[in-house]
A and B are shown apart, each in its own frame.
Chain A
Amino acid sequence: MASGEVKLIGSWASVFVMRARIALHLKFISYEFLQETYGSKSELLLKSNPVHKKMPVLIHSDKPVCESNIIVQYIDDVWNSSGPSILPSHPYDRAIARFWAAYIDDKWFISLRSILTAQGEEETKAFIAQVEERTELLEKAFIDCSKGKLFFNGDHIGYLDIALGSFLGWLRVVELDANHKFLDETKTPSLTKWAERFCNDPAVKPIMPEITKLAEFARKLFPKPQG
């Protein structure tokens, strides 16, 4: 099952693609990275993910797996004897990790992205406040999940670290754009230290995008209205 060619359809800038790449790196899996061109979708992408037409798509022995969190869990399941466990071992801890990963995607990320698309100062301020509140919740979640250890997952980065950590590049871009820090030593001391550890992890460091490059890409994706 663990043998077979591995390809990943994605892009250097995508948070969700990054999740899959981190998981593959953690398990020491060689894969072919098929980068999509911004502005168009390859035939392979459309064929492999006809329902959502989105990346990332993991293609393992020609069979596609879609949705970043599902891909991460798949990688952990298939290559379970390689590298550290990505999901916690106890079912309750797994449920908690899944809960917060869903929260990050359904709530936290949505407000973060809204800052980039907000119209006017009032709207921007409201979304900033929302992200502040939601990040505070994640600070508490980190303290609960890590149980005094270095990562959400304990001694090694895991599912929830990947779910949140893959956003760190974009979070920095939004902080610069909004001129507001969400992660800092006074408000979110645990998360701030965790973020640095996460970015320096050998499975993450080589693929974390450069902030200036990402900021430039953000300006293309979310152009500011003129005047």
Chain B
Amino acid sequence: MAEEVILLDFWASMFGMRTRIALAEKRIKYDYREEDLWNKSSLLLEMNPVHKKIPVLIHNGKPVCESLIQIEYIDEIWPDKNSLLPSDPYKRAHAKFWADFIDKKVNVTARKIWAKIGEEEEASKELIEILKTLENELGDKTYFGDETFGYVDIALIGFSSWFEVYDKYGNVNIESECPNLIAWAKRCLERESVAKALPKSEKITTFISELRKKLGFE
């Protein structure tokens, strides 16, 4: 059966990057459609009426929403190449725990650094603590999944393209605070799926700078 796979996404979204990476790891051909978040398409609103957010994966006309759910779906639908989640139930639960931690903590805190005025200092301290917890979990493993690149790596790596933004507006230096995490990010970027999915940091920093001007922050 001919597969139709569409991804509604936004180039700078660290969540969209997850799905791009997962699809690339599985060598799935798909139609990438860039959304204007300030003028959302009728397709996006129809496919994700509850949250009206990207990314939305549309597989043979049926939408799957939420990036972590999309990774699991992609892994289950196309199980033959590059497993994204461990097969062992305990390791799988462990991977889900850390991906859930990333979702609960990283963006919520990081957003306060650039999207608000007045909370940067506290938020950047909190972000460093969160990243250090993740660095601790990584330990001296090659990837979060140990020898295999997988679910937790995919959940986190997109944020690395935003580290320059957090450094700039949070007045921190993530590289000096979390050197092992930065080394991990560089290893991930050696993978083609990641290198193609992540925009250059400078592009994101420029985008955020312009956005902040529009919001009247500078």
A contact residues vs B (CB 8 Å cutoff): 1, 51, 60, 63, 65-67, 70-71, 73-74, 77-78, 91-92, 94-95, 98-99, 102-103, 137
Interface of A is mostly: helix
Instruction: Indicate if the CB atoms of B50 and A67 lie closer than 8 Å.
Output: no
Q: How many B residues are at the interface, by size bracket?
A: 20 to 34
Establish whether residues A95 and B97, one from each chain, have CB atoms under 8 Å apart when the complex forms.
no
Could you say which of B62, B69, B101 has the most chain A C-beta atoms within 10 Å of its C-beta?
B69
Beta-carbon nearest neighbor of A137 in chain B: B50
For A73, what are the chain B residues with a Cβ–Cβ distance below 8 Å?
92-93, 96
Q: In the bound complex, what is the Cα–Cα distance between A60 and B93 (angstroms)?
A: 12
Q: Which A residue's beta carbon lies closest to that of B60?
A: A92
Tell me, yes or no, whether B122 is within 8 Å of chain A by CB.
Answer: no
**Which 5 interchain pairs have the tightest Cβ spacing?**
A77-B89, A91-B76, A74-B93, A95-B73, A95-B64
User: A151 vs B65: C-alpha distance in the bound complex, in angstroms?
Assistant: 22
CB pair B93–A70 under 8 Å, yes or no, is yes
A103 and B101 CA atoms in complex are apart in Å by 17
Known: A67-B97, A70-B100. A91 touches B73 (CB 8 A): yes
Q: Taking the complex as formed, is B1 at the interface, i.e. its CB lies under 8 A from any CB of chain A?
A: no
Which residues of B are found within 8 Å of A95, using beta-carbon distances?
64, 69-70, 72-73
Contact A70/B64 with A63-B90, A78-B89, A95-B69 known, Cβ cut-off 8 Å: no
Cα-based distance from A9 to B65 in the complex (angstroms): 32
B206 interface residue (CB < 8 Å to A): no
Which residues in A have their C-beta under 8 angstroms from that of B50?
103, 137
Answer yes or no: B126 CB below 8 A from chain A CBs: no
In the complex, which of the residues A66, A71, A137 has the most CB atoms of chain B within 10 Å of its own CB atom?
A66
Residue pair B97, A70 in contact (C-beta under 8 Å)? yes
Closest chain B residue to A76 by CB distance?
Answer: B89
Report the separation of the CA atoms of residues A70 and B101 in the bound assembly, to the nearest whole angstrom: 12
- Apart from A66-B97, A78-B89, A95-B72: 5 A-B pairs, beta carbons within 8 A: A73-B93, A74-B90, A92-B59, A92-B62, A94-B73
